[in-house]
Amino acid sequence: MEKDNVKKIVYGAFMMALVTIGTMVIQIPTPATKGYINVGDSFIFLTSALFGPAMGFISGGLGSSLADLLSGYAYWAPWTLVIKGLEGLIVGILYKGHSEYAKIFSLLVGALWMVLGYYIAGGIMYGFKASLVDVPSNLIQGFSSIIIGYTLIKVVTPLVTRTK
């Protein structure tokens, strides 16, 4: 029992680090709301698919908000904690035990939540007209992350299930 808990903590910390790094490696600034495009969502999708909603929530929220803090976007960190945490939770809940189409749909729902969440956060911070300008870049980020995340899931899942 204790060994399983240690494994979960190690996997969770590793996935949180991947989310942070994935968010920080590629950052394309979006001027209207002073945010940035990244591929961290791919690792949130991977975490949620492999380890479920709780780890998706924790790794997605903490890993992404840590990237904001380390990258000089501290004013986004509280919003990111909630938005990316819920994204991981949503994908984790919807992903398990369904057809491939349903699994891809779960990633789509997660990505669309991210777009909506940042639209609302940006609207509160900078006005909804300014926030609307970033919706296309967030859609690009979301759809790119679906492709990258789904590919990662297909490659990594057989490796992880062998080590569990």
Nearest to 111 by CA among 79, 76, 147: 147
The span from the CA of 164 to the CA of 148, in Å, is: 23
Residue at 43: amino acid letter: F
Residue at 160: amino acid letter: V
pLDDT digits (tens, 9 = 90+) for 47-90: 999 999 999 999 999 999 999 999 999 999 999 999 999 999 99
Domains observed in the chain = 1-160 (1.10.1760.20)
Task: Decide if 153 contacts 45 (C-beta within 8 A).
Answer: yes
Measured between alpha carbons, how far is residue 72 from residues 69, 102, 131 in Å?
6, 37, 20
This prediction has a pTM of 0.94
- In 3-state terms, what secondary structure has residue 73? coil
Listed in sequence order, the residues at least 6 apart from 7 whose beta carbon sits closer than 8 Å to its beta carbon are none
Mean pLDDT value across residues 97-121: 95
The span from the CA of 149 to the CA of 43, in Å, is: 6
The pair of structure tokens assigned to 52 is 């479920």
The span from the CA of 10 to the CA of 21, in Å, is: 16
Question: Which has more pLDDT, 4 or 135?
Answer: 135
